[in-house]
Amino acid sequence: MIKINENYLKLPGSYLFSTIAKKVNEYGAAHPDKKIIRLGIGDVTRPLPKAVIEAMHKAVDEMADAATFRGYGPEQGYDFLRNAIAENDYKARGVDISPEEIFVSDGAKSDCGNIGDIFGVDNVVAVCDPVYPVYVDTNAMAGRAGDYDPKTETWTNLVYMPCLEENGFMPQLPERTPDIIYLCFPNNPSGAAIGYEELRKWVEYARANGAVILYDAAYEAYITENLPHSIFEIEGAKECAIEFRSFSKNAGFTGTRCGFTLIPKELEVNGVSVASLWNRRHTTKFNGVPYIVQRGAEAVYSPEGKAQVRELVDFYMNNARVIREGLAQAGFSVSGGVNSPYVWMKVPEGMTSWDFFDELLDRANVVGTPGSGFGPSGEGYFRLTGFGSAEATIEAIERIKNVFGK
């Protein structure tokens, strides 16, 4: 008789964003006169850059003509896009990557989740705490996480690397040696970014322990300081790392869907090329990103596209600055918001993340995301994002200053 994948039964319900929506709806219904401002949003709000739109329109026209129509493309992505990525994201930073090492996909979320297919179930997985939930839940689905303990809100087989204030919200090398290490910089949710020295430490650790680092660089476009944009800027990383990138947060592709994964040809596990395994998986289970979307992604690398993407990123980063500076003026302890659209604030003494959520909604009519929703070490923290409109962001921060300012 048919059996289900029982690992799915172990997953706790994901209540974070549904609980937030429910609380906000209830508050809105009870106080119809209040204007609620949402700064909890993890999605971009500005339209696609003009260069992207023009490239996509042109591609649509090509699809309308038998002479230029395209059906199935290469599963790994068209050469025009893989070449543009290799040139602009890597060679321009001194990283020698060949287009064959780049696998274009429908986004970093899929790839971060699917990459586990090519690794054994008995690998020990390490994640940051707090963390982007995709890494945790997909490993639980694969049977790699053990059992969920509702008391500690952790999985029995995962190695958690707490990212605490005393360490600048950076993970520390774990006591139990993992085989797979997820790192995300600049980080969602904390907004923390990693420097060259610190990242070198992780690369050396992975190489010394025969581990692989899964590096999520979805927010690299938000880096403003002198920090690595790619893990492959670190010597030796090609032997121990895979990198995930996305057009979602830089160019506004959250609804358009395009990203890529870079697996260097040097990366081998027990003499097996990891890229060849991923190629086998990708070509079997995925049939390519739409031609129209890949032409849009290519335009991100044109001179106009680059300028327009910079404008978008600057827009969100200005919001993040307004949030960070305003909260600091109101007496809060804040981090992030410098190399990331996310601002991570400490909630007032004696409150939980959810207490603060309720208080902020009730007194300032502002919505954010409780840090505890990203893992136990997020308790006592709160995430606000720069993805809102400029006017709403300014108004929200004025309200917070009025309510909480000293």
Whether the CB-CB separation of 103 and 285 falls below 8 Å is answered with: no
Q: Minimal CB distance to ligand PLP: which residue?
A: 107
Q: Which is nearer to ligand PLP, 286 or 404 (CB)?
A: 286
Nearest to 8 by CA among 152, 138, 112: 138
Least Å distance, CB 358 to ligand PLP, is: 25
Q: DSSP class of residue 103? A: E
Length of the chain in residues, anyone?
Answer: 406
Q: Which is nearer to ligand PLP, 183 or 361 (CB)?
A: 183
Q: Count how many Cα atoms sit within 13 Å of the Cα of residue 207 in the half-sphere of its side chain.
A: 15
Least Å distance, CB 182 to ligand PLP, is: 10
Least Å distance, CB 375 to ligand PLP, is: 13
Q: Which is nearer to ligand PLP, 183 or 292 (CB)?
A: 183
As given in the structure block, the two tokens for residue 45 are 């709000």
Sign of torsion over alpha carbons 127, 131, 135, 138: positive
Q: Which is nearer to ligand PLP, 254 or 279 (CB)?
A: 254
Least Å distance, CB 8 to ligand PLP, is: 21
Q: Which is nearer to ligand PLP, 250 or 308 (CB)?
A: 250
As given in the structure block, the two tokens for residue 258 are 């395009």
Which residues form the interface with ligand PLP (CB under 6 A)?
Answer: 107-109, 132, 184, 188, 216, 218, 246, 248-249, 254, 259
Nearest to 214 by CA among 148, 134, 140, 152: 134
Whether the CB-CB separation of 231 and 252 falls below 8 Å is answered with: no
CA–CA dist 59, 289 (Å, integer)? 13
Sign of torsion over alpha carbons 91, 182, 223, 80: positive
Q: Which is nearer to ligand PLP, 130 or 326 (CB)?
A: 130
Q: Which is nearer to ligand PLP, 132 or 382 (CB)?
A: 132
Least Å distance, CB 183 to ligand PLP, is: 11
Give rounded-to-5 percent helix, strand, coil for the chain. 45, 15, 40
Q: Which is nearer to ligand PLP, 171 or 259 (CB)?
A: 259
CA–CA dist 186, 168 (Å, integer)? 13
CA–CA dist 42, 20 (Å, integer)? 13
Whether the CB-CB separation of 245 and 260 falls below 8 Å is answered with: yes
